[in-house]
Amino acid sequence: MEPKGLGLSVFKERYAHEHEEWQDACRRVATSAGAHESIGVRESYYQALVNGRLMPGGRIWYGAGRVKQQMLNCFVVPTGDSREDWGRTMSDFTVVTGTGGGVGFNFSPIRPRGAAISGVGGEATGSVSLMSMLDGIAKGMVGGGNRRAAMMMCLAIDHPDILEFIDTKLNKEALNNANVSLVIPPTLEPETIVHLYKTGGKIALRHDGKTYGELPVREFLASVVKNALSSGEPGILNQYLAEKENNVGYAHPLTSTNPCGEIWLPDYGCCDLGALVLPSFVVDGELDWDALADTIAVGVRFLDNVLDVNYYPLHEIEKMCQAERRIGLGVMGLHSMLLDLGMMYDSEQGLAFIDKLFHFIKITAYKASIELAKEKGPFPLYDARYLASPFVRRLPREIRNAIAEYGIRNCALLTVAPTGTTSMVHGVTSGIEPLFAPAYFRRRKVAADIAGEFDTIKTLVIHADYLNHPDIAQGAYDIPVWNHLEVQKIVQSHIDNAVSKTINVSKGVKFSELMDATLAYLPYLKGFTVYQEGSRDDEPLEAIHLDKVAEVLQSWDGETDYDGMESLDCVTGVCTI
């Protein structure tokens, strides 16, 4: 595999060290990750990378081989309800962001605005005040490798500050360095929220045992969905389901997701990311299951090694990451692979294959982690209670028996990250997302004169996957919202961490349809984000729907690009992987 076109540009600009070619970078990453391994293991890493079957997260490419090789993408930093806690949170954020890591926060522990401060008197300024402070820090910082600060800010739906939180982001246009999400807390079943929506019920707004008011569920969720349609935010995070499925819930609770939402983490947890490049396993129209299995095993070992050679920005992070040994092996190019196999993304055949594929990835990854436990020992927090996790209980009996006998190396192994820029290196679709569009217009500004005026250049981009499979290719906006959610539900059933996916909806989608779909799938997803076509004024890409492609291709006489690979999987642009 050799990156080319846009993929080569992305690789050179973001991931290669100075004057480094693809093979050199693959050798550097393989050697760095496998520093404590044999020559043979390091060679297996190199072959998986250089042949385009395993794609580590961007921080691994950037950090590997540096003096302080910080190779983890994201972290979660705790918040607390004292001045000392706030100072620690801001300090932790500054340090972590300075090493290029994104940060997730859950502000639910903070007392609401107006609550009494018994120690020194007066009233609390609330959770949004700390959010604003962190946003101010982010404005003045550029992470390692010129990476802008990335944050996930979330707050429980029953927190008394919830309306102020939403208003600050959406109406006052603040907190612009963060993705924002509502959290369904572990104490509130999603089915209860659905019931309260349908019956016109209310949720008590509570903190530390005190009630501050009530939230009309129907009106609030309706406003959330309308805002999501108009701006892509807020997202919804399902901490109830994440905690219920938490493999190590016996040891500690989960706090927040990372900025993209693909991994729920405890305080000081980390994202250790890599992806299987799915189209690389298609040979003559068939999936090479043996090669996929081999690469899954390599990927699990590779990511486990990263935890041992990584430079940690905080001692608390190192302690937690070593105790859990949580990794996030994901995928990229799902839709590209389906097209190569002759399947439509959301057809019955496609959905059945997705279910089979992710079941295979799950079983193979867990077997690989058990084999690592035999060799290196299980993760330090492992004990027999691990087998009581609902996710683990659904594994085949032979897997559970092997875990009971040998333990397992990693508390959790699987995720689906958006892989926006790393997928461009390989020229495949991002994560489990469908094609953005079979064809689209890309607009870019170029300097017109020395006075600072700009011209807008409009280019027609025709996606290679469409050219190769015009009869079965679909774009994100051609797929009904229910089908998007069904794909995510199927994949989530096999993923022990979480799934990052954007539910793309076309212009003019009915509010009632999106609301009904949200309520139907809310109990089954650990988080989701909605994005409506054209809802942001500065969109650089304009999708051409499937039924209009032939007409546009026939009439267009401007600049055309057949080598484009673009992604809108993170609509706010603050969670680059």
Q: How far is CA 436 from CA 354, 461, 482, 505, 570, in A?
A: 19, 11, 17, 11, 12
Rounded CA-CA distance 358/567 in Å is 23
Rounded CA-CA distance 138/176 in Å is 9
**pLDDT category of residue 308 using cuts at 50, 70 and 90:** very high
pLDDT tens digits, 237-289: 999 999 999 999 999 999 999 999 999 999 999 999 999 999 999 999 999 99
Task: Give the H/E segment covering residue 204.
Answer: strand 202-207
pLDDT tens digits, 60-101: 999 999 999 999 999 999 999 999 999 999 999 999 998 888
* Nearest alpha carbon to residue 539 among 443, 429, 474: 443
Phi-psi region of 573 (alpha: psi -120 to 50; beta: other; left: phi over 0): left
* Nearest alpha carbon to residue 133 among 78, 183, 179, 89: 89
Higher pLDDT, 540 or 163: 163
Locate all alpha helices (DSSP H) within 348-470, ordered by sequence.
Answer: 348-376, 390-393, 397-406, 420-426, 464-468
The phi, psi pair for 568, rounded to 5°, reads -120, 40
The phi, psi pair for 516, rounded to 5°, reads -60, -40
Mean pLDDT of the chain: 91
Model pTM score: 0.93
**Identity of the residue numbered 228:** A
Angle (nearest 5°) at CA 61 between 55 and 65: 135
Beta-bridged to residue 331, according to DSSP, are: 276
Question: Mean pLDDT, to the nearest integer, of 35-56?
Answer: 97
DSSP 256: E
Q: How far is CA 355 from CA 91, 301, 348, 405, in A?
A: 43, 24, 11, 28
Query: Tokens at residue 261, please?
Result: 């939402």
* Nearest alpha carbon to residue 227 among 238, 239, 219, 216: 219
Task: Give the H/E segment covering residue 39.
Answer: helix 39-50
Q: Does residue 165 carry a pLDDT above 60?
A: yes
**Identity of the residue numbered 11:** F
- Let me know how many helices (H) and strands (E) the chain has, helices first: 21, 23
pLDDT tens digits, 179-219: 999 999 999 999 999 999 999 999 999 999 999 999 999 99
Higher pLDDT, 155 or 506: 155
Q: Does residue 162 carry a pLDDT above 60?
A: yes
DSSP 499: B
Rounded CA-CA distance 74/258 in Å is 6
Return the pLDDT at 574: 44
Residue recorded with tokens 């690389």? 280
Question: Mean pLDDT, to the nearest integer, of 426-435?
Answer: 93
Residues near 512 by Cβ (< 8 Å), separated by ≥ 6? none
pLDDT tens digits, 67-76: 999 999 999 9
Return the pLDDT at 559: 83
Distance of CA 451 to the CA centre of its chain: 41
Rounded CA-CA distance 242/499 in Å is 11
**Identity of the residue numbered 563:** D
The SS3 of residue 55 is strand
